[in-house]
Amino acid sequence: MMTTQTGSLEKPVDVASPAATGSRLQAIARGEAFSPAIHAELEREQSVLDVDDFNLWYGAAQALHNINMKVPAGKVTSMIGPSGCGKSTLLRSVNRLNDLIDCVRVKGDMRINGQTIYHKSVDVIELRKRMGMVFQKSNPFPMSIYENVVYPLRIDGERNKAVLDEVCERSLRGAALWNEVKDRLQESALGMSGGQQQRLCIARAISAEPEVLLMDEPCSALDPIATNHIEDLIHELKGEYTILIVTHNMQQAARVSDYTAFMYLGRLIEYGPTATLFQKPILRETLDYVTGRFG
């Protein structure tokens, strides 16, 4: 379904006047309303995930303010922003992992392929099966490599060995891990290296063929070579999967993603094609951030 809802995507009023830079961030810090700069290219994209006026509170503290954003299908979208700005929170809101935290309260909605995510009638478990998630710290389960990969199928009650074998191989190949582990599938996953473990988690995340792949700083605990592996992997997965990735590494965002969203203090500030955002952003603040002048 083509989403053309762009009601909130209005052009910001004052475009990058240097004087306004500090004051705009101050205004945000004061809690004043702010409308983000959304680049026009996004309107032409077909979206998989739509975030509509999404707010989230941890207890009394608001962590997300009025987020409106659409994640284009088959593309890699990265989220950047200073620590604590709510990137992980937003990512975890997509598959409602925040439901596990008692004090969380939300307002607004998200839609995946047009279907609402935040509604009482939504079966959270079914919803999560439509998404794969990779965490900052790799979290293989205490079982064999094989069982780790087919875990999403196992909990669906899949028993057919042929199906499981096929999925296992496909996912491990997809995560560029097959050649390394094909002879030790029955060994414990905890005996792998950190980078292998993270790729295993990616294999697990894609084994159920999710509609969206959520990645929260998947490389932050890895060395450059393992990071390269994963970045290559993201490139390969692109097209097949829609990927939403959080990263602290500006170069990485520039390398792997098609679109980039810049967040600050729980707000979406600017969102557009990666190249534009990094070279000629609409807002001065974005330029300051990506060039390392603040944040």
Contacts with ligand ATP by CB under 6 A lie at 58, 63, 81, 83-89, 101, 248
Contact status: 170 vs other proteins (CB under 8 A): no
Contact call for residues 185 and 144 (beta carbons, < 8 A) = yes
Return the C-alpha torsion angle 247, 252, 256, 257, nearest 10: 50
* H or E segment to which residue 233 belongs: helix 224-237
Number of shown-chain residues binding Mg ion (CB under 5 A): 1
Closest to Mg ion by CB, 80 vs 226, is 80
CA dist 226 and 133 (Å) reads 18
Which residues between 65 and 124 bind Mg ion (CB under 5 A)? 88
Which residues between 129 and 168 bind other proteins (CB under 8 A)? 129, 131-133, 135, 137-143, 151-152, 154-156
Task: Show the site string, 88-127: x = touches other proteins by CB under 8 A, - = not.
Answer: -------x-x--x-x----------------------xxx
Q: Residue 294: which of 22, 10, 7 has the closest Cα?
A: 22
Pairing of strands 131-134, 47-58: unpaired
Residue 86's binding partner out of Mg ion, ligand ATP, other proteins, none, with CB under 5 to 8 Å set by partner kind: ligand ATP
Closest to Mg ion by CB, 54 vs 146, is 54
Residue 100's binding partner out of other proteins, ligand ATP, Mg ion, none, with CB under 5 to 8 Å set by partner kind: other proteins
Number of shown-chain residues binding other proteins (CB under 8 A): 38
**For tokens 């159920």, what's the residue?**
208
DSSP 290: H
Residue 85's binding partner out of ligand ATP, other proteins, Mg ion, none, with CB under 5 to 8 Å set by partner kind: ligand ATP
Residues 6+ apart with CB under 8 A from 187: 144, 145
Contact call for residues 219 and 257 (beta carbons, < 8 A) = no
Half-sphere exposure of 295 (CA within 13 A, CB side): 22
Binding site for Mg ion (CB under 5 A): 88
Binding site for other proteins (CB under 8 A): 95, 97, 100, 102, 125-129, 131-133, 135, 137-143, 151-152, 154-156, 188, 190-194, 196-197, 201, 204-205, 208, 214
